[in-house]
Structure 1
Amino acid sequence: MCGRYATTRSEADLSDLFDAVDVTEGLTPSWNVAPTDPVPLVRISQRHDARVLDTARWGLVPPWAGDLRGGARMINARSETVSTSPAFAPSFARRRCLIPADGWFEWLRSGKDKQAYYMTPAGGGPLAFAGIWSAWGPESVLTCSVLTTAAIGGLARVHDRMPLILPRERWPEWLAGGGDPGALLQPMTERELAAIEVRPVGPAVGNVRNNGPELLDPPTASTLF
């Protein structure tokens, strides 16, 4: 799964990176995004007839849900079932998005102990998670989920799941809607993912109240997979 991640780039940087019209009214950087937090996303807007950089609540809430509370359990959508799940399939077919990130966190357990790790591009570049969105209620509250896939290579040593990451050349097809699910949900290869490093970080990231660049500091000398 992907239960915490970092997204710290400004709206100006993300707008340029994704060639999107900024409609966010300002973004707050976060080094510890948690379920139900507001997060940036890129989607196609019929109103603007273009890509827009928008903000959504992390945790998709289907339009038929009675309230927003269930979104905390819907932060991830499995790529293996997203096209058939009653909760996710309508968004996968018509409301796909890109979710900008710097990296994501997972915890590796060893007995009673657990160590937090941060997965991020070695060169410091951005990531685009495959996402889906929906609008809920009379005020059309935007909500979203991150798609996950089976982890491969060194990433699988920390957790068996990881976000579905989309390289730039796949962004247009993903945002367009429709298409062949098999091709759209194809994960990156182990060779492509070799550019992502896995580094240990301190335990402070486990508390959602902690948020700052110091969360990415290693607890000891950095160790990479």
Structure 2
Amino acid sequence: MCGRYGRRSDKQYIAEHYRLGDLRDVPLEAAPDWNITPDSVQPVIRLSKDSGERELAFLKWRLVPFWSKTPKPPFESINARADNLLTSSAWREPFQRRHCLIPGEFFYEWEQIDKKRKQPYAVALKDDRLFSFGGVWDRWKDHDRGHIIESFAMITCDPNGTMEAFHDRTPLVIEPSDYDRWLADVEPSQLPIDLVRTYPAEGMKAWKIAKLIGNGPHLLDPLPEAPPPALMLF
């Protein structure tokens, strides 16, 4: 599971990276955030229903399927496993019709040391660039009150060599050259299932960090290495 991520980029940089054009009419800000948590509202890139062009939208990070009876999904839905995208009723339709790109520059995972202790890691691409998690989104409507929730989930794949030492999943990363294919509205037979793949270990780095307390660049500070044990001289 990927349950925390972050980005240094602001709304303007995101607009430039995804070639979104003028965002002066977009009411919300996409400020840098080093500790993005589930249930927060975050920027994603999707295709506009009206124009068919890329748009910046602000969605809740925990997908609420359109068929859910309540705004609280009946299952854990911040992540969608790659191997369930075409078989699960939760993910099949979003994967067929509603892809999105989730801007990020790093994410966090935890290694289970023992029953009581976990060691957090920060993970990023080796060149520290802004990248896109591959995601799916959905729109839920309360038919009695008319309330609408648009939400997203991040797709996860099998771990690569960098991740498998401390975790069993890796978020899907979509390269800029594949943005158009990922977002395109296509027939089920043309879905970009080949893009749902584990990111190469050689392009990723991970390092131990302290507990995630607060929000800011300090969360990415490497954990100091423990000094070697002192030699006992007799």
Q: Secondary structure at the match of 2:208?
A: strand
Percent of matched pairs sharing the same residue: 29
Query: In the alignment, is the contact (CA less than 8 A) between 2:65 and 2:140 conserved in 1?
Result: yes
How far did residue 123 of structure 1 move?
Answer: 2.1
Matches within 5 A, 1:97-116: 97-111=100-114, 112-116=116-120
Q: Secondary structure at the match of 1:80?
A: helix
Q: Does 2:191 match 1:187? A: no
* Distance change in 2, residues 1:3/1:131 (3 Å): same
Query: Which amino acid counterpart does residue 194 of structure 2 have in structure 1?
Result: A
Give the TM-score normalised by structure 2.
Answer: 0.85
Query: Which amino acid counterpart does residue 187 of structure 1 have in structure 2?
Result: T
Aligned with residue 157 of structure 1, among 160, 165, 170? 165
Higher Rg: 2
Q: Does 2:87 match 1:84? A: yes
The corresponding residue for 1:44 is: 47
Cα separation, 1, equivalents of 2:192 and 2:176: 18
Cα separation, 2, equivalents of 1:220 and 1:121: 21
How far did residue 71 of structure 1 move?
Answer: 7.8
- Larger mean CA deviation between 87-96 and 44-53 belongs to 44-53
* Distance change in 2, residues 1:169/1:76 (3 Å): same
Cα separation, 2, equivalents of 1:184 and 1:84: 17
CA RMSD of aligned residues (A): 2.0
Query: Which amino acid counterpart does residue 173 of structure 2 have in structure 1?
Result: I
How far did residue 67 of structure 1 move?
Answer: 2.4
* Distance change in 2, residues 1:2/1:86 (3 Å): same
- Larger mean CA deviation between 63-72 and 104-113 belongs to 63-72
- Larger mean CA deviation between 46-55 and 86-95 belongs to 46-55
Where does the alignment leave 5 or more consecutive residues of structure 1 unmatched?
Answer: none
Query: Which amino acid counterpart does residue 52 of structure 1 have in structure 2?
Result: E
Give the TM-score normalised by structure 1.
Answer: 0.88
Query: Which amino acid counterpart does residue 160 of structure 1 have in structure 2?
Result: D
Cα separation, 2, equivalents of 1:104 and 1:72: 22
Q: What stretches of structure 1 move > 3 A for 4+ residues in a row?
A: 21-24
Where does the alignment leave 5 or more consecutive residues of structure 2 unmatched?
Answer: 227-234
